Structure 1
């Protein structure tokens, strides 16, 4: 407890430093150092708690995802999971990471370079069902992972290129793992990856029925698409963090945003 309080105090001392917008933070469970915006939730959580997305971190480090393969990170943010996937990929694997927002992408590139992730290829674009240029709605500075192609949060937008995943990744080789975290835009992303999805062995996707409903995207279509390509679906238990099996039809009754884990 005292150690955590000490780290919290240290964090706030760094926050009042007027000469830097960034902090350095290191996770407990794997060797890496991340540069992050000092007031953003991702860097703050890594700095104070030594991890980000503990359920997915545990999944990737727990041995159920094979090493040495091909990995895809859609919505890479500053690169926490990209770096972790790079370590899982090792010398024989490759990671492709996608991040459209310019500030996040700059930190993503810096973190990939500083952590020596030579097996990572970065793409400064969003993904969707067709090539386009769209306005990315910018969320407040305390959570730069909430930027969304679905919503204007009243804090401005930035125009970003949109590509199809099928046009950027070879669909003939197995994909060991793919993560998709794009704040409600998951359905257009997967529509643009229909050729690739049969090769994806394990998928973690943020399921956002509320955001989809606001944007008039069909939640039932997304659930049907997932069921068509995967035989098993899990939700992470909010207390234990462990994945628990869930039937696909139950997802249609889901109201809150939740991470799903799907397997062939």
Structure 2
């Protein structure tokens, strides 16, 4: 895996040999040979590469990552591993098409910068493509596992996500949940829509067993450290 050591996630992968181990194990168990996996917010490609390894060449992995530096490294990583079934989309998935500026900090490998929460030096703006999630997927696509980690952009993909959900049966979704980044959007109605479509919702803690939860219980969450949710149908 190609890693940019200026990026804290990449540095952690190098030092620890893994990323978010409390989540990685469940992800590896969920992905089976021949499955189709969507990695929405692929970053440097850790989960995309795990998915590519587990699905094998009979499966398909769609990785979505707007950051051009991470996209280049992800292409190299997939090529080095012979993962021709990992398809990369350099786009910021949203509820509209066009272009926008992604604000990042540092050089090369970067992390999303939250201008409303912190003040940092060395902020740069990169023009990136905006697009609908469904624009990049065949209308007949059957997704088995979806991982979502887009740092507050979740509200903008929910309509597209529900379209994909509605044309599938069994499905597993991993989603980072931090409502403080959802701006003025209330996440609870979306979580209720997913629950009404037959998903059981679990919190995956950093230590210990997974815990069942509900949209109403999630409505009470106001932490500044994200939850990792596992949704199973």
Tell me, yes or no, whether TM beats 0.5. Answer: yes
| CA displacement 1:203-253 (0-9 Å, x = unmatched) | 0011111111xx21222233233323342001112322x422112211111
- TM-aligned CA distance change 1:210 to 1:186, over 3 Å: same
Residues in 2 aligned to 1:232 and 1:251: alpha-carbon distance in whole angstroms: 13
Residues in 1 aligned to 2:75 and 2:210: alpha-carbon distance in whole angstroms: 31
Residues in 2 aligned to 1:150 and 1:180: alpha-carbon distance in whole angstroms: 22
Which TM-score applies when normalising by structure 1?
A: 0.78
The higher radius of gyration belongs to: 1
SS at match of 1:192: helix
- 1:73 equivalent among 39, 49, 52: 39
- 2:174 equivalent among 204, 218, 226: 204
Does 2:224 correspond to 1:258?
Answer: no
Q: Larger relative contact order (C-alpha < 8 A, sep ≥ 6)?
A: 2
- TM-aligned CA distance change 1:250 to 1:151, over 3 Å: same
In the TM superposition, residue 193 of structure 1 has moved relative to its aligned partner by: 3.0
Matched positions, count: 227
Q: Is the 2:103–2:125 Cα contact (8 Å) retained in structure 1?
A: yes
Does 2:63 correspond to 1:134?
Answer: no
Q: Who is 2:80 aligned against?
A: 114
SS at match of 1:39: coil
SS at match of 2:87: strand
- TM-aligned CA distance change 1:151 to 1:221, over 3 Å: farther
In the TM superposition, structure 1's runs of 4+ consecutive aligned residues that sit over 6 Å from their partners are: 148-153
Residues in 2 aligned to 1:69 and 1:151: alpha-carbon distance in whole angstroms: 38
Which TM-score applies when normalising by structure 2?
A: 0.87
**Unmatched 5+ stretches in structure 1:** 1-33
Residues in 1 aligned to 2:79 and 2:43: alpha-carbon distance in whole angstroms: 15
Q: Who is 1:44 aligned against?
A: 11
SS at match of 1:46: helix
